[in-house]
Amino acid sequence: MFRFEQLNVYKESLSFVDLVYKLTDKWPKAETFSLTDQLKRAAISVSLNIAEGSSRTSKDFQHFLSTARGSVYECVASLTIALKRNYIDKQDFEKGYEFCDKLARMLTALKKSV
C-alpha cells in the first residue's frame, strides 16, 4: 500500500469525486466540455495532488497540498455557478459545499502536520 492511500483526506477526496460524478450526470449535455469537465477535473486534481505530493519531500508535499486545497476552492466556485444555473438544487449544493469545507480543513491540518 502506498503512503497516500492510508490518508483519510485522500479517501475523502475519492468520495468527493464520486459525488461530483453523480451530480454532473444530471447536467445539460451542452455543459459537457465546459463546467462539467472543469468541476470533474478540479475534483480529481485534489486526489492526484495528494498522491503525487506524498512521494516528494516534506516541503514539496506541502506545496502539493496547497494546490489540492486550491482545487477544492475551484470546486466551490463551480458548484456555485451550477446552483445559479439551476443545474443543482440547494440541497445538492450544500452537500458538495460541506464536502469541500471538510476537505479544505483536512488538507490544511495535514499540511501543518507535515
47, three cell numbers: 486526489
Band of residue 38 on the pLDDT scale cut at 50, 70, 90: very high
Express each pLDDT in 71-104 by its tens digit. Answer: 999 999 999 999 999 999 999 999 999 999 999 9
- How does residue 36 score in pLDDT terms, banded at 50, 70 and 90? very high
Query: What does pTM read for this prediction?
Result: 0.96
DSSP-assigned letter for residue 54: T
The sign of the CA dihedral 76, 33, 89, 21 is negative
pLDDT given at position 53: 98
- Set out the domains of the chain in order of their start, with CATH numbers: 3-113 (1.20.1440.60)
